[in-house]
């Protein structure tokens, strides 16, 4: 992986760190490719049972690196091409698909501002631990762009269509406290405690019933686009699978013995 994205696995937890602190973790092409590949690696690694996505320095991620972007747009105009926005297909879509689609929980530790695609990555995570000094901003309309990074799908499901439209049409800074009230943040903690708190949440998930978490993610995503009857059928299918898992057997035996279960992730 490039130095702009750090990847470390310990005790079932993959910690993926955006590492361009001097640029507030802005997304140049190298960083986007490295993040995409790191997330795919975590998704495919059987040793990984949960992922923590966090930023280094004072920002989580401010989105597209506009300094690089303006140069690419100029090159497009000179060449008469329009390849710059292919980054949505090549980078942003695969990154969000990896976060939302991997069969293991992803925690976003939002240590500072999350804007544009950076906000989109946080929205795609399964759980968001947010520093009290952090803020979210959709920012797309401010640079005459529409939503990408899955924001058109994730944000309405977090806060409702009306509020999502408001934040997309009129981009502004949403404080950590407002994010908590809206339903964007799951937990707000003092900035000094963010790294430890986010890691604690992620480690708890890494020690949990991984297959059950995967089924929960799948059922939530499925239900978002299907009828109640179809969602019930999907729940039956997934519950049958979960009920046959080794972790379910371990949990039931531990309950009977009044012990804490030690899940294996399968």
Q: Which CATH number goes with the domain that contains 11?
A: 3.90.226.10
Give the range of the structural domain holding residue 228, as residue numbers without chain letter: 210-256
Is residue 1's pLDDT more than 60? no
Q: Is residue 41 part of a domain?
A: yes
29: pLDDT confidence band, cut at 50, 70 and 90?
very high
Which tens digits make up the pLDDT trace of 35-79? 999 999 999 999 999 999 999 999 999 999 888 877 777 777 777
CATH of the domain at 226: 1.10.12.10
Co-location of 57 and 88 in the same domain: yes
As a whole number, the mean pLDDT across the chain is 94
Tallying the residues shown for the chain, one arrives at: 266
Tokens of 44: 């495919």
122, 25: one domain: yes
Q: Same structural domain for residues 166 and 247?
A: no
Number of domains in the chain: 2
Do the domain assignments include residue 138?
Answer: yes
Q: What is the pLDDT of residue 106?
A: 98
At which of 167, 182, 206 does a domain end?
206
Residue where one domain finishes, among candidates 189, 206, 223: 206
Q: Where are the alpha helices (DSSP H) in the chain?
A: 29-44, 66-79, 87, 93-101, 117-124, 151-159, 161-169, 176-182, 194-206, 210-223, 228-243, 246-256
Does residue 65 sit in the same domain as residue 132? yes
* 127 & 31 share domain: yes
């Amino acid at each position: 992986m490039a130095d702009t994205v750090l990847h470390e696995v310990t005790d079932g937890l993959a910690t993926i760190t955006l590492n361009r602190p001097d640029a507030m973790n802005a997304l140049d092409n190298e960083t986007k490719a490295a993040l995409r590949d790191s997330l795919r690696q975590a998704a495919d690694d059987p040793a990984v049972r949960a992922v923590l996505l966090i930023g280094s320095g004072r920002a989580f991620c401010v989105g597209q690196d506009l300094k690089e972007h303006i140069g690419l747009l100029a090159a497009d105009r000179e060449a008469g091409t329009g390849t710059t926005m292919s980054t949505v297909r090549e980078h942003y879509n695969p990154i969000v698909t990896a976060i939302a689609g991997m069969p293991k929980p992803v925690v976003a530790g939002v240590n500072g501002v999350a804007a544009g695609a950076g906000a989109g990555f946080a929205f795609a995570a399964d759980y968001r631990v947010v520093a009290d000094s952090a803020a979210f901003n959709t920012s797309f309309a401010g640079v005459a762009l529409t939503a990408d990074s899955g924001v058109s799908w994730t944000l309405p499901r977090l806060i409702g269509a009306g509020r999502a439209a408001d934040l997309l049409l009129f981009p502004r800074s949403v404080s950590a406290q407002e994010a908590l009230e809206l339903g964007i943040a799951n937990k707000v903690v003092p900035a000094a405690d963010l790294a430890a708190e986010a890691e604690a949440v992620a480690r708890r998930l890494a020690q949990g019933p991984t297959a059950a978490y995967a089924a929960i993610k799948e059922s939530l995503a499925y239900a978002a686009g299907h009828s109640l009857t179809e969602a019930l059928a999907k729940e039956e299918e997934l519950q049958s699978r979960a009920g046959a898992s080794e972790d379910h057997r371990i949990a039931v035996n531990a309950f009977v013995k009044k012990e804490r279960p030690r899940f294996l992730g399968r």
